[in-house]
Structures are given as C-alpha cells and as structure tokens.
A and B are shown apart, each in its own frame.
Chain A
Amino acid sequence: MPEQTVFEVFRYLPDSETEPRFDSYEVEYHDNWVVLDALNHVKEHQDPTLSYRWSCRMGVCGSCGMMVNGEPKLTCETFVRDYDTETIKIEPLTHFPVVRDLVINMDDFIEKLPTVSPWLIREEEKDLAEGEYLQTPAEVAHYKRFSMCINCMLCYSACPVYGLDSTFTGPAALALANRYNLDSRDQGKEERAAVVTAHEGIWECTYVGECTQVCPKDVDPAGAIQMLKLSYALDWARSFVMPRSRR
C-alpha cells in the first residue's frame, strides 16, 4: 500500500464561493483507519474549515454517510485499506441539496419518514392492566430485518428514482412502513395505504435494487417495497372478490 493516500474532497462554501470544487489532502496511510478517521485527521491537522457530519463512529447513528469513490458509504465503517487506488474521492450524498462541503440537507427525508405512520396503530388500545402485547420469536422474525434501519439515507442516495423525482417516498420510509405492516401487534396497514400505495409510493419504485446493495444494516428496502406491492395488490384483488370482507 502507498505511504500516503490522497483524499479528493468535495468543497462547497456558499458564503464565499458560488461553485463547488475539490481540494486534495495527503494523509498518511494507516492499515486500521476508516475514511472518517482520515477526514478527522484532515480537519484536526490540515484544514479546520472542512465540514461534515459524524457522531458515533461505530455504524449506529447513521450520520456519516458520504459518497466514497462514487458509492454511498458509511465512512465510519469504510476502511481505507479496501481501496487500492492512491486517490479516494469523497463527496456529499447524491440526490440531496448540499448545505456546505459534505453536509447535505436531510429535511426532505425527515419530513417523509412520519408520513408512513411508523408506529404501532391499534384499532382499540387494550387497557394498561391487561399487560403488554406479546409476540413469539417467529412473529418478531417476520419484521426484524426491516426494523434495523439507522436512517443513514444511503439508500436514497443510491436510488436513481429518488434522484430523478424527489417526490418519491423512498426506500427507507417504505421499508419502515413494511416493518409495521408485518408486526403482529399492528393494525394500521389500511391507514398507511393512502401514502404507501400513492403514485409517489411503492408504484414509483422500478426495482433498481441498489438501495438494498448499499444498506449497511442489511435492511433490504427493495425487497420490502416488492413485498408491499404484492401485499396491497392482493388486498385490492380481495376487495373485488369479497367486497364485504375485512382485509
């Protein structure tokens, strides 16, 4: 491996410049460094004006998502040693407006999340004295995978559908809808239908599948959306065959 790695970092300083640029920083190679370590080194020793988000440094908070050599990655678990190029290009997550340098505006994502009602919906809440809603391990297994999302937005950055039309509800929000629809304690599938089955919802997904490929938590949003398509389509068909039955 080279002794130095060159990081070409996207810079956008809206207060003083109108156009973005790339700045190069040479960083000493360390076998155990992740990309975030290198960015922190740059900020501490070379350029304190560099802006980016990070927090937990252990793949839990989901705040350090960036494009690394063109692919959406959590920089805290992307090792420099996995890139055999001497130059590593760092850019802000695509498909989101850039506020400054590597910091994106995530308002659109944050506003979309609650639209799918990502909480347990009950037709009638049972009395507190009756105890909790119990589940078997098998019932948990049905939705657990879809509950592991850390809201890192890598899936939105990988999705060209969202890139072409930002009204698309998007992979993470729809995977979350599926997570609650599959929960045995939930009765809110019909309530979520208005948002989930809208044109901007599941039917806008053309199954590119890259959301699943880039997900650092193996959530499989692409699979979740296909499951939702089948589930709601069956409900629709059932309503024709048995119009008086409940879903």
Chain B
Amino acid sequence: MTRELSRPLPRSWWLRHAPYFQFMIRELTSLVVLTYAGLMIWGLWASGDGGSFPSFHDFLSSPLNVWLHMAMLVLALYHTGTWIALTPKVLVLWRDDERIEPDVIAGANAVLFLAVTGLVLWLVLG
C-alpha cells in the first residue's frame, strides 16, 4: 500500500482565487441584509410604541447612521445583483425544445426589481 498525500484546504483558500473571494463577499453581504431586516423590525416595533419612536428616529438621524445606511445600501444592492444573476440557474424555462435564454430570465428579474423599487419609492416619497 503506497502512502497517499493528503492536501487539506488552507484557511486562506478564499483569498487565493478571485471567484472564491467574490463568493465570500456575497455570503458576508447577507449579514448586512439580515442586519437591515432587524433594523426594520425594530422600526416597526418602535412605530407602534409612541414612547420609543423618537429615540429610534434620533438613532437613525446620527451622521454615523447615515453613512452606515449608505454602505448597507451598496452592499444590499450587490447582494440583490447576485440573486438576480442566480435566477436563471433555478428558473429554467422552455419554449418547446428551445430554452429561454438565461439573460432574458435575469433581465426580467432585474426589470421587476427596478419596477417594485420604483413603486415603493413613489409610495414613500410621492
């Protein structure tokens, strides 16, 4: 029996290859989405409780929080982009024996995302 050489993956594996690094960034941005979801839940809870909403509002109004929100927006948009890019992998649609092009599926999702975002902005700001 010959001695086989085992080569375990080093902890720095995700730094060695650009797509692995992008994958890790994608996974980490999900924590940002989770954090923002928690913030929204806090906001909803605070809006139903007259006493705590002013402190929630003050918390959001601090300059640090504005910058944090800007950063979270960028990272959440990146995360959204990765999901839109993923949709053609899951949603495989056929027209007879012709597969509908993945770019069409991803494009339709992007358009839907922009339309819903526009609708929400119109409802909130309009």
User: A: which residues have CB within 8 A of B?
Assistant: 12, 14-15, 20, 70, 94-95, 97-100, 105, 136-138, 140-142, 160, 163-164, 206-210, 213, 220, 222-223, 226-227, 229-230
Across-interface contacts of B89 in A (CB, < 8 A): 207, 220, 222-223, 226-227
A218 to chain B, nearest CB (A): 13
Within 8 A of A (CB), among B1-30: 2-7, 9, 13-14, 16-17, 19-20, 23, 27
Number of A-B contacts (CB under 8 A): 70
A12 near B5 with CB under 8 A, answer: yes
Q: Check if A14 sits within 8 Å of B23, measured CB to CB.
A: no
A98 partner residues in chain B, CB cutoff 8 A: 4-5, 7
Contact call B2/A163, Cβ cutoff below 8 A: no
B2 to chain A, nearest CB (A): 5
Minimal beta-carbon separation of A200 from chain B (angstroms): 17
Q: Give me 14 A-to-B residue pairs in the complex whose CB atoms sit less than 8 angstroms apart, sorted by A's number.
A: A70-B16, A70-B17, A97-B5, A98-B7, A100-B2, A137-B97, A138-B94, A160-B13, A164-B13, A210-B20, A213-B19, A222-B89, A223-B92, A229-B90
- Contacts known (A95-B9, A227-B89); A160 close to B20, Cβ less than 8 A: yes
B19 to chain A, nearest CB (A): 6
Partner of B97, one of A99, A136, A206, A230: A136
Given contacts A142-B94, A164-B9, 16 further A-B contacts (CB under 8 A): A14-B3, A14-B5, A70-B16, A95-B7, A138-B96, A140-B97, A141-B94, A160-B20, A163-B9, A164-B13, A207-B89, A220-B89, A223-B92, A226-B86, A227-B90, A229-B90
Contact of B4 among A99, A140, A206 (CB under 8 A): A99
Given known contacts A138-B97, A164-B9, A207 and B86 CB-to-CB distance under 8 angstroms: yes
When distances are taken between beta carbons in the complex, the residues of chain B under 8 Å from A138 are 94, 96-97
